[in-house]
Chain A
Amino acid sequence: KAGVTQTPRYLIKTRGQQVTLSCSPISGHRSVSWYQQTPGQGLQFLFEYFSETQRNKGNFPGRFSGRQFSNSRSEMNVSTLELGDSALYLCASSVHNEQFFGPGTRLTVL
């Protein structure tokens, strides 16, 4: 089976712009979670989607949003980018209480 894929792998944006990241889960996995990884805060949970519904959300501002499509692919969107949003964004698909991670999208905000 193919693993979790994330696109794009690298992204450079400027403050105030918005960005959309994409995640395709492992075939058959219906749950997709997103995490933000920074040197200062470590790995923090953003949100989780299951069958197109958000069923859990971390403590992030409303600028961070996501959605999931009927084929389980998920997108996350960050509006009005800030310098502090520079991070590695990891997506994970889940089944049977295990999460499998994608390679991440490295976002740099200038």
Chain B
Amino acid sequence: AQTVTQSQPEMSVQEAETVTLSCTYDTSESNYYLFWYKQPPSRQMILVIRQEAYKQQNATENRFSVNFQKAAKSFSLKISDSQLGDTAMYFCAFMKPGAGSYQLTFGKGTKLSVIP
């Protein structure tokens, strides 16, 4: 079974600064997907970024980028130019494709506070 670990329960960052959220995972699969989801106080789960394991290039979405280290099974999220609207819970998630299932395995989350 896959496990996802987020070792930072809470973090804070000054507005306009850069912050990195950590995620490690354990799997014996060679092909899989990794995701970062954001859950603001409204509780709506929003996809931030996605990485396919067979792609060596790190995914980037505007101010959000990842550092994917497949051998180390590490998948960190970097948020640049942090904004007040980035305040939320961030969840790292793993998906094993195949067998037609889209099941996600989530980490426990990191609560990020952006300070004005």
Contact = CB atoms under 8 A, between A and B. Distances in A.
Interface of A: 31, 33, 35, 42-43, 45, 48, 50, 55-56, 58, 88, 90, 92, 94, 97-101, 103-104, 106
Nearest to B45: A101
The 3 closest A-B pairs by CB, nearest first: A101-B45, A94-B102, A43-B106
B1 to A, nearest CB: 10
Contacts of A35: 104
A97 B102 contact: yes
Nearest to A58: B103
A56 B33 CA distance: 18
17 contacts: A42-B106, A42-B107, A42-B108, A45-B104, A45-B105, A55-B99, A56-B99, A56-B103, A88-B43, A97-B33, A97-B95, A97-B97, A99-B102, A101-B37, A101-B46, A103-B42, A104-B44
